[in-house]
Amino acid sequence: MTEHKHQMTNTHILLQEFEYREPTSLEEATALLKAYGDRAHVLAGGTFLLIQMKMERLAPECVININNVPALNGIVPIEGDGLRIGALTTIRALRNAPQVQAGYTALAEACAAFGSAQIQIMGTVGGNLCNGSPASDTVPALMALDAQLLLAGPEGQRVVPLEEFLVGPGQVARREGELLVGLELAAPQPGTGSAFIKLSRVAADLAKVSVAAVLVREGEHIVDCRLSFGSVGPTVLRTRQAERQLVGQTFSAELALAAGETAASEVTPIDDVRSTAWYRRQVVKALTHDVLQMAWERAGRAPDAAAVRQAHHGMVRQAHHGAVQPASQAVDAGELPAQHHGDGLRLGPTEQHLITLTVNGVTHKLHVASNELLLNVLRERLGLTGTKYGCGLGECGACTVHLNGHPALSCLVLAVAADGSEVLTVEGLSGPHGELDPLQEAFIEQNAFQCGYCTPGMLMMTKSLLAEVPAPTEDDVRDYLKGNRCRCTGFISIVRAVMRCVE
Ligand SMILES: Cc1cc2nc3c(=O)[nH]c(=O)nc-3n(C[C@H](O)[C@H](O)[C@H](O)COP(=O)(O)OP(=O)(O)OC[C@H]3O[C@@H](n4cnc5c(N)ncnc54)[C@H](O)[C@@H]3O)c2cc1C
Ligand code: FES
Ligand code: FES
């Protein structure tokens, strides 16, 4: 694998050429991974991989898109009232899942604190675990919840505790040919409370420090406790001395503060662009107290098992958030259905593939190379320049379109992977005779733009928000737009325009 080949980056395009594969079975995917070894990378949501490739930190010879492998997606109940979560389940789907909210609060909170709405909608839990980042937000929560990972390879399946999976920064214990298929969480014991807190520079940034606590309470005593921290060591880590200090004790604010002191002595933070090691240790002390207090209070009013079970057996929110599916129809990531040796797409580095895209109701047939991005196809080949290029790295939201009904950052979508999709761009918001969408009218009425560069992305996001939450609060609007940057107007008039439209 070549690193920093050109010592320069142009995030507008994906410079590298690579072979693109779309396996249609688990056997095909693992056989490909085995054959290519570390010359191949898996593509799930692409919000990490494509950025590493654009920045020329990674240059895989082959990109293996696993989105057509069946049975990797969904949240289902398992024996003993636990949960099985497929690797392709998106962060947004986890955040919205009733059974995650009811029984695994720390995980739901970690997903809510995660990046922007677009990144939550595109990014998957499997990608968050496999990138091996000590700042991955779901990992402290999953570690505190004692997640067991399900890996499948050419030699069969195995179960690995999450702690054993994390080896070092960017390194995980995935054997050659292995794919993460999902993870399992045991049912919470009676009297369990959990919480997650993240401190970051701005709302849509990686953590300076994150912490998750899972605590089991009996009366005024702590009978069990797990504490995990992100961004304060080479991997997400547990602070076992602090845990031991808590177990068997009567809970008090003083005890929680003392545990914070201990935890701060156990973590091994570094100075980097986000914070200093000294500050991170101070934050660990304070956040340990806060997260324990929250988990303790929740443990005192933990949902009874019946409520969690009801959420389990109710409706399961599927990976492409908003789509709700009864549990009985959800895909089971662990008990894999009979797989067949697939014969998925193979596209060489210099070849082109004919794709079909329906954009704003019009069907187009286009030949694309493996490294062409949806953003460039829309702007340069279809002339739809309403969708803007800003950062090319998923951070500004200017390139947001709707892909099969959900917001997507078109600078991070391979055109070949969008074959057969329906795309809506800002040009498609207006009616057949050019009449503007009520949102566009509200933006004009409220002067919610100056240069207008960010406006298409803002409109596509707020259109999606109003479909998901017809009567949002101002806080909902701000949270949904946290991944969209405006450099001139500021958010006050934009939020006002959305609220006006709601009225
Ligand atoms: C603007 C921005 C903000 C972000 N904010 C956050 C944040 O707040 N918190 C956070 O934790 N992360 C954040 N991220 C990082 C990233 O979005 C997440 O890590 C996300 O969960 C990655 O999932 P993905 O499906 O997009 O992974 P991908 O990019 O598709 O894959 C990530 C890595 O995992 C491997 N992989 C993926 N799935 C599997 C699998 N099933 N089996 C084996 N290997 C696999 C891939 O080969 C790749 O190496 C942010 C990224 C961006 C661009
Ligand atoms: S251009 Fe896609 S997020 Fe900035
Ligand atoms: S109106 Fe200029 S960037 Fe938002």
Q: 432, exposed or middle or buried, with CB in 10 Å at 0-12, 13-18, 19+?
A: exposed
Determine which helix (DSSP H) or strand (DSSP E) holds 245, and give its type and residue range.
Answer: helix 240-246
Mean pLDDT of 402-421: 98
Supply the mean pLDDT for the chain.
91
Cα–Cα distance between 425 and 403 in angstroms, integer?
Answer: 9
Q: Indicate the top mutation candidate among 444, 460, 488, 492 to test ligand 3's pocket, ranked by most ligand atoms within 8 A of CB.
A: 488
Q: For residue 135, is pLDDT > 60? A: yes
Q: For residue 334, is pLDDT > 70? A: no
What confidence score (pLDDT) does residue 503 get? 87
Q: Indicate the top mutation candidate among 41, 111, 131, 320 to test ligand 1's pocket, ranked by most ligand atoms within 8 A of CB.
A: 131
Cα–Cα distance between 500 and 102 in angstroms, integer?
Answer: 34
Residue pLDDT, tens place only, 318-327: 333 333 333 3
Q: Where are the alpha helices (DSSP H) in 365-490?
A: 374-376, 438-445, 455-468, 474-480
Q: For residue 186, is pLDDT > 80? A: yes
16-25, 197-206, 347-356, 396-405: which range is least confident on average?
Answer: 197-206
User: 111-125, 299-313, 482-496: which has the highest mean pLDDT?
Assistant: 111-125
Q: Is the CB of 450 under 6 A from ligand 3?
A: yes
What confidence score (pLDDT) does residue 203 get? 79
What confidence score (pLDDT) does residue 489 get? 80
Q: Which two tokens stand for residue 73?
A: 């997606």
What confidence score (pLDDT) does residue 452 get? 94
Strand partners, 489: none
User: 54-63, 312-321, 336-345: which has the highest mean pLDDT?
Assistant: 54-63
Enumerate residues lining ligand 1, CB below 6 A: 41-49, 51, 66, 87, 114-115, 119, 122-124, 126-128, 130-131, 135-137, 179-180, 206, 394-395
Taking alpha carbons only, the member of 477, 463, 384 closest to residue 427 is 384
pLDDT tier for residue 300 given thresholds of 50, 70 and 90: confident
Distances from the Cα of 194 to the Cα of 213, 396, 482, angstroms: 5, 32, 26
Q: Indicate the top mutation candidate among 444, 489, 495 to test ligand 3's pocket, ranked by most ligand atoms within 8 A of CB.
A: 489
Cα–Cα distance between 404 and 425 in angstroms, integer?
Answer: 11
Q: Look at ligand 1, atom 47, and give the residue with the nearest C-alpha.
A: 42
The dihedrals phi and psi of 442, each to the nearest 5 degrees, come to -65, -40
Looking from the CA of residue 88, the nearest atom of ligand 1 is 41
Ligand nearest the Cα atom of residue 120: 1
Q: Look at ligand 2, atom 3, and give the residue with the nearest C-alpha.
A: 394
Residue 467 Cα to ligand 3 midpoint, Å, equals: 24
Residue pLDDT, tens place only, 39-64: 999 999 999 999 999 999 999 999 99
Q: Which domains does the chain have, with CATH numbers?
A: 19-68+342-424 (3.10.20.30), 75-329 (3.30.390.50), 433-502 (1.10.150.120)
What confidence score (pLDDT) does residue 113 get? 95
Mean pLDDT of 67-73: 94
Residue 180 Cα to ligand 1 midpoint, Å, equals: 13
Q: Is the CB of 395 under 6 A from ligand 2?
A: yes
122-136, 290-304, 334-348: which range is least confident on average?
Answer: 334-348
Q: Is the CB of 443 under 6 A from ligand 3?
A: no
Residue pLDDT, tens place only, 436-474: 999 999 999 999 999 999 999 999 999 999 999 999 999
Q: For residue 86, is pLDDT > 90? A: yes
Residue pLDDT, tens place only, 467-494: 999 999 999 999 999 999 999 988 899 9
Q: Which residue has the higher pLDDT, 313 or 336?
A: 313
Cα–Cα distance between 437 and 410 in angstroms, integer?
Answer: 22
What confidence score (pLDDT) does residue 335 get? 45
Q: Indicate the top mutation candidate among 455, 458, 460, 491 to test ligand 3's pocket, ranked by most ligand atoms within 8 A of CB.
A: 455
pLDDT tier for residue 158 given thresholds of 50, 70 and 90: very high
Q: Is the CB of 394 under 6 A from ligand 2?
A: yes
Q: Is the CB of 134 under 6 A from ligand 2?
A: no
Residue 450 Cα to ligand 3 midpoint, Å, equals: 6
What confidence score (pLDDT) does residue 314 get? 52
The dihedrals phi and psi of 210, each to the nearest 5 degrees, come to -135, 155
Mean pLDDT of 163-178: 96
pLDDT tier for residue 102 given thresholds of 50, 70 and 90: very high
Mean pLDDT of 494-502: 94
pTM: 0.92
Cα–Cα distance between 179 and 64 in angstroms, integer?
Answer: 11
Q: Is the CB of 453 under 6 A from ligand 3?
A: yes
What confidence score (pLDDT) does residue 311 get? 63
Q: Is the CB of 452 under 6 A from ligand 3?
A: yes
Cα–Cα distance between 7 and 433 in angstroms, integer?
Answer: 49
Q: Which two tokens stand for residue 93?
A: 């789907």
Mean pLDDT of 138-167: 97
Q: For residue 332, is pLDDT > 50? A: no
Share of the chain above pLDDT 90, in %: 83
Q: Is the CB of 409 under 6 A from ligand 2?
A: yes
Ligand nearest the Cα atom of residue 459: 3
Q: Regarding beta strands 324-326 and 315-317, do their DSSP bridges make them parallel or antiparallel, or are they unpaired?
A: antiparallel
Q: Is the CB of 392 under 6 A from ligand 2?
A: yes
Mean pLDDT of 118-134: 97
Residue pLDDT, tens place only, 207-257: 999 999 999 999 999 999 999 999 999 999 999 999 999 999 999 999 999
Cα–Cα distance between 22 and 29 in angstroms, integer?
Answer: 8
Residue 393 Cα to ligand 1 midpoint, Å, equals: 13
Cα–Cα distance between 331 and 72 in angstroms, integer?
Answer: 7
